[in-house]
Amino acid sequence: MCYIMGGAELHLLKDSLPDSLKSKVNIEGIPCMGSCDKDEKLHPCVLVNKVPINKASTQKVIKHLLTLEKNDLL
């Protein structure tokens, strides 16, 4: 998870997770995923199972995680 370019709120993601996800998710902050080097505004970014989530927000990440959990992909 990028915590530099607009990702400060993502630092608290673990606290916002539903209980069903807390034991299934590992959250780590990293300084750069390289997405800001592109012309597109993709930040902040999060990787979930090696899949990037661009323009990430807490709600967007949780929604993605719940979809993965529903499909037994977590």
Q: Rounded distance, CA 58 to CA 40, Å?
A: 21
| pLDDT for the residue 7 | 72
Higher pLDDT, 4 or 34: 34
How many residues belong to the chain? Answer: 74
Q: Is the dihedral of CA 66, 67, 71, 74 positive or negative?
A: negative
pLDDT tens sequence across 42-72: 788 888 888 888 888 899 999 999 999 999 8
Cα 23 from Cα 2, distance rounded (Å): 21
What is the pLDDT at residue 11? Answer: 77
pLDDT for the residue 3: 57
- d(C-alpha 66, C-alpha 29), whole Å: 21
Report how far Cα 45 is from the mean position of its chain's Cα atoms: 6
pLDDT in tens, 19-40: 999 898 888 777 677 766 666 6
